[in-house]
Amino acid sequence: MSVEAVRRLYFGRDDAESDMTVGLLREGFMRTAAYEEALNGRKMLIIGRKGSGKSAICVRLAGDGARPGGTVVITPDDAAGDELRRFELQGLTGDTAKSLIWRYVFAVHAARHLVGHSREHRWRVPGSVKALRSFLAANDEAVDERLYDRLVKGARGLETSLSLEAFGVKAAMDVKGASEGSRATRQLEILERGVVQAFTDLDCAGQHAPLLLMVDKLEQVWSNDPDSNAMVIGLLLAAQHTAGAYGGALRCLLFLRSDIYDSLQFGEGDKFHGDEMRIDWTRSALREMALARAQASIGSEVTSDLLWREIFPPEVSGESTFDYVYSRALPRPRDAIQFLNLCRDRAVAAQRVRICEEDVVEAAQQFSEWKLGDLAKEYLVNYPYLSALFEMFRNGGYVVMRSVLETRLDEMADTLQRQFPEYAEGLSGPAVVDALYAASFLGVRLGNDVVYATDGHRTVQPYEREFHIHPCFRPALNALNATGLHPYEPHRVAHRVRSSSYPPRIAGVSVGRDFSLMEELVRSCDRILRQMSRAGSMPVESRSEVAREVGSVMQDANESLIQLREGRPIDASQHVLRAVTYLESLAVQLLANGLDHETGAESVAHRVQDECRRLIRMVGGAYGGSGNSNS
């Protein structure tokens, strides 16, 4: 492996359009189940989180000739979104009115396609196609314009009257006296019949794949308000209508963010379940994607073993490298691409021939900081207060009980209410838990596992009380341990003890007293560990962390006993006082960093405090008392 190979290694760009340009989306594209369903027309709705690959499927279908038949990509911008949200018709609900403007856009795109496409079928242009050409010219739709311009013209035509003379209809006379909504519906039906007739005359459905209209990036114009929701519901209704109205010659494919789709409430919603395809990325699929992109950038000779054992280190912090990356990112391509590129960038900056463990660990820190900010931006419309909530979890443990979370939220209540007064209802304890879980910031303990929203577990139940910060966000929040305990490091603690108020050791104390002090420290640690075994509701990770640190104190004391038995003197008083300082801080951290009394943490903390008082009396006993009156 050479420096040049690592330099050539590249996993792609963050957005699908740029990724197609540099070639990795084309050569390293994963033909997922969602892609196959979209390609074959079995599903109409491709649903996924930001970065899950929706736009990649759209760009691939539109740009690589993977399917016969024409494709049109519709991506609303801000101006188009404003027009869609504002559109309404007297006599129709907002959903239905907005479905008509979408149907108009689809019909005009189909008409323009047919006018150019007809020559591929026969030399003689059918009258139905000529009628479409005349309609487009009469309504100023013959030229290729922005979606906004098409929406403005369509809205004006549906609100007043379209020029339908090309179809032998005087629109204003035909629909005279009808309501605005009825008049618009009638006009649109005439246009759609004209398009259907042209498809039939050309026999498009019998000769090739249908024209595919794809709508993407709707989240750019969605604002989580009634008009935005009506805009999306209208799109769904229009796409469903199109599926049946054009005889298989035209179909729609919609790419929707899961948080937008799942927030919609409308009576026809149950009719779309069969059209849904949710994008879910498994560990093996992301691993396969990473390999395909490495091969696309370096060469097909790159194998899985070469990538994950030679180019990347085999392990990072005791985990296989890919498992380390996968567990610290949300399961979607964009996250994997960004994390792996960061690892590569670190190695290139250091001019290494391989990516080393240090590169991956440093990349994890930078990646975590990126993703914490990105998560707040991703859900800015739904939960604009997310970034403020994140501060509740900084510099603590990654395990947080529901009651502790609600206590922290109460402490922030006044500040949050001032900053986000319009979201007061969303700032209650249960609502915040639901929001943090929906965003995959928090996972919930279910039996022996911790599950996140990305794992398919949809809602948090009121009785569920143990939550974990997703590993992706822990480094950015400095929440690397279950309860945020500082590790036991006697030499580091010693500096604090030297300036403490504990009494110094007096010269001449007998070796027997040193043995007694160290043995009592061991027994205190043992009592703490036995108390922990009775705290059956303490989260497994927290119990393991506390046991590890108390075990370190015990092991250090046992090693000191060995030194004493070997005749090597130690300052047992100072050793015990250093341990007491640490154990006291452990008790404070245990209660402050996410655990409540229901877990048994309080009883463990009280036991620790009792043992610390006992040990201090033992040290004081060196000046005249046994210090062991409290058993």
What domains, with CATH codes, occur in the chain?
3-14+283-378 (1.10.8), 33-278 (no CATH), 386-477 (no CATH), 490-623 (1.20.120)
Strand partners, 278: 47
Query: Exposed, middle or buried, 266 (CB in 10 Å: 0-12/13-18/19+)?
Result: middle
Cα–Cα distance for residue pair 609/527, rounded to 1 Å = 12
If one compares 597 and 368, the residue with the highest pLDDT of the two is: 368
Nearest to 535 by CA among 590, 485, 492: 590
Residue 217: its H or E element: none
State the DSSP code for 170: -
pLDDT digits (tens, 9 = 90+) for 219-228: 999 999 999 9
Nearest to 538 by CA among 494, 604, 627: 604
pLDDT > 60? residue 631: no
Neighbours of 419 (CB within 10 A): 13
Confidence label for 483 from pLDDT (cuts 50, 70 and 90): confident
pLDDT digits (tens, 9 = 90+) for 192-205: 999 999 999 988 87
Cα–Cα distance for residue pair 27/329, rounded to 1 Å = 24
Cα–Cα distance for residue pair 415/402, rounded to 1 Å = 20
For 296-310, the DSSP string reads HHH-TT--HHIIIII
Cα–Cα distance for residue pair 157/488, rounded to 1 Å = 75
Cα–Cα distance for residue pair 4/257, rounded to 1 Å = 39
State the DSSP code for 253: E
**Quick one: pLDDT at residue 535?**
84
For 359-425, the DSSP string reads HHHHHHHHHHHHHHHHHHHHTTTT-TTHHHHHGGGTTS-SEEEHHHHHHHHHHHHHHHHHH-GGGGG
**Quick one: pLDDT at residue 457?**
58
Q: Write the CB contacts of 542 (distance below 8 Å, at least 6 apart in sequence).
A: 397, 399, 482, 483, 594, 595, 599, 601
pLDDT > 70? residue 500: no
Query: Exposed, middle or buried, 572 (CB in 10 Å: 0-12/13-18/19+)?
Result: buried
Cα–Cα distance for residue pair 523/535, rounded to 1 Å = 19
Type of residue numbered 154: G
Cα–Cα distance for residue pair 452/469, rounded to 1 Å = 10
Calculate what percentage of the chain has a pLDDT beyond 70.
90
Q: What is the CA radius of gyration of the chain?
A: 33
pLDDT > 60? residue 506: no
Point out the least confidently predicted range of 104-108, 414-418, 422-426, 527-531: 422-426
Backbone angles phi, psi at 273, to 5 degrees: -60, -40
**Quick one: pLDDT at residue 125?**
87
Confidence label for 13 from pLDDT (cuts 50, 70 and 90): confident
If one compares 171 and 411, the residue with the highest pLDDT of the two is: 411
User: Helix 127-138 and helix 94-117: axis angle, to 10°?
Assistant: 120
Q: Which two three-digit tokens encode residue 560? A: 């000191």
Give the HSE-up count for residue 404: Cα atoms under 13 Å, Cβ half-sphere: 25
* For range 533-549, the mean pLDDT: 89
Give the HSE-up count for residue 403: Cα atoms under 13 Å, Cβ half-sphere: 8
Question: What is the per-residue burial (b if ≥16 Cβ within 10 Å, else e) of 238-264?
Answer: bbbbbbebbeebbbbbbbbbbbbbeee
Cα–Cα distance for residue pair 331/338, rounded to 1 Å = 12
H-type helices in 30-93, by residue range? Answer: 33-40, 54-63, 78-86
Q: What share of the chain is helix, strand, coil (3-state, %, to 5)?
A: 60, 5, 30
Query: Exposed, middle or buried, 349 (CB in 10 Å: 0-12/13-18/19+)?
Result: exposed
| Arithmetic mean of pLDDT over the chain | 87
Cα–Cα distance for residue pair 500/574, rounded to 1 Å = 11
Give the HSE-up count for residue 113: Cα atoms under 13 Å, Cβ half-sphere: 23
Q: Write the CB contacts of 304 (distance below 8 Å, at least 6 apart in sequence).
A: 287, 291
Q: Write the CB contacts of 555 (distance below 8 Å, at least 6 apart in sequence).
A: none
Backbone angles phi, psi at 446, to 5 degrees: -125, 105
Q: Write the CB contacts of 143 (distance below 8 Å, at least 6 apart in sequence).
A: none
Nearest to 524 by CA among 590, 609, 586, 600: 609
- Judged by DSSP in three states, 420 sits in coil
The pTM of the full predicted model, rounded to 2 decimals, is: 0.83
If one compares 364 and 150, the residue with the highest pLDDT of the two is: 364
**Quick one: pLDDT at residue 230?**
95
Cα–Cα distance for residue pair 595/405, rounded to 1 Å = 9
**Quick one: pLDDT at residue 365?**
97
**Quick one: pLDDT at residue 74?**
93
pLDDT digits (tens, 9 = 90+) for 370-379: 999 999 999 9
Cα–Cα distance for residue pair 504/48, rounded to 1 Å = 64
Q: How many residues does the chain have?
A: 631
Cβ-contact 436, 442 below 8 angstroms: yes
Residue 465: its H or E element: none
Place of tokens 């620790």: 608
Q: Write the CB contacts of 145 (distance below 8 Å, at least 6 apart in sequence).
A: none
pLDDT digits (tens, 9 = 90+) for 276-314: 999 999 999 999 999 999 998 898 788 999 999 999 999
